[in-house]
Structure 1
Amino acid sequence: MQYRYKRICLLAALLWMAVIFSFSARPADESARMSHSVGDWVGRVFVPGYEEWDEASRQEFAEDIDYPVRKCAHAGEYAVLGVLLTMALTDRRRVMPAAAIGILYAASDEFHQRFVPGRSCQLTDVLLDSAGLLAGIMLVLLADRLYRRFRQRSR
């Protein structure tokens, strides 16, 4: 059962890497439209009275939060990847391989963006991706530790 679970997690990690690649392959204007739509959603959900704002104010709000939305997306994408890679690898020595695979993928993905119209390759994005990845890895380790502690107490 454990082997099957690890294989499913590995497949999920590979599929998620493909999703990340597809986001990075989008030209800058398409990527901007997507982050603006997320900004609009954030406004509708979290800003009281947002629905009553005029279109220009909504657009300005979406543009104002565009940068944080993009950076959170970077970290979030790679946090999910960190979780999946850590869960796919063997128990004891999984942190270093998961981190190495994820960081190398972040660097290669950022390099890939150099060749996409309107996109660029930024070291700060690789660092942000890596931070998200490490947060995902740490989340799995914390959950694993809590699970083991809970299991010991219930025996």
Structure 2
Amino acid sequence: MPAVMKKRFLTVLVLLWMGLIFWFSAQPSDDSEDMSLEAGKLAGQILIPEYEEWSQARQLAFAKKIDLPVRKLAHGLEYAVLGLFLTAMYRSYGLDGRRWILISFLSAAAYASTDEFHQLFVPGRAGKVTDVLIDSAGALIGVCVVWMIRRMYILRINA
């Protein structure tokens, strides 16, 4: 893919992912809770062989029990993906050395902060410092994954 096309593609990808994060954050608390409960039910179906045999009440109780970890994992994962995308985008613009690591992480952490601020204006939602920290940790994981892959690639070429 030509360099200009790659830059545009990755920039659009980052913006679309940020838009998806914004959309999730714009969901009122009831809608957001419904989505995470559905994710909890899906986790039950995948992880527990006898889940389908459980009563609906027991399935719902399970989903509610794991709701908080599901939400926090979702926070971390969506920002890990953002970290991956930001890293790829900044690299396509020619950031060299280790600057792309810092800039990718700081960009994602800044977006996490604005995302939590945005949630202050959504019915039933709250902006939380702990969520900014979880989001930032997720972004750091995403950036580190790219760094490790790149490092292995460089070591393989130089071997």
Q: TM-score surpassing 0.5?
A: yes
Shift of 1:95: 1.4
CA distance in 2, matches of 1:7, 1:150: 29
- Pairing of 1:36-51 with structure 2 (within 5 A): 36-51=37-52
Does 1:110 pair with 2:116? yes
C-alpha contact 1:103 1:126 (8 A) present in aligned 2:
yes
Shift of 1:4: 3.0
CA distance in 1, matches of 2:151, 2:4: 20
C-alpha contact 1:6 1:87 (8 A) present in aligned 2:
no
TM-score w.r.t. length of structure 2: 0.93
Q: Which runs of 5+ in 1 are unaligned?
A: none
1:91 to 96, 102, 124: 96
Shift of 1:99: 1.5
TM-score w.r.t. length of structure 1: 0.95
Shift of 1:3: 4.1
2:139 maps to a residue whose letter is: L
1:35 maps to a residue whose letter is: S
Q: Which moved more, 1:7-16 or 1:107-116?
A: 7-16
Number of aligned residue pairs: give it: 153
- Does the residue aligned with 1:117 lie in a helix, a strand or coil? coil
1:125 to 125, 131, 154: 131
Residues 101-136 of structure 1, C-alpha deviations (whole Å, 9 max, x = no match):
111110000000011010001000000000000000
- Does the residue aligned with 1:125 lie in a helix, a strand or coil? helix
CA distance in 1, matches of 2:25, 2:140: 20
- Pairing of 1:5-44 with structure 2 (within 5 A): 5-44=6-45
1:91 maps to a residue whose letter is: D
- Does the residue aligned with 2:150 lie in a helix, a strand or coil? helix
CA distance in 2, matches of 1:71, 1:6: 31
* Aligned counterpart, 1:4: 5
* Aligned counterpart, 1:145: 151
2:115 maps to a residue whose letter is: D
Cα RMSD for the two superposed structures: 1.0
- Which 4+ stretches in 1 moved above 3 angstroms? none
Shift of 1:6: 3.1
Task: Report percent identity of matched pairs.
Answer: 45
Q: Which runs of 5+ in 2 are unaligned?
A: none
* Aligned counterpart, 1:72: 73
2:151 maps to a residue whose letter is: R
2:25 maps to a residue whose letter is: S
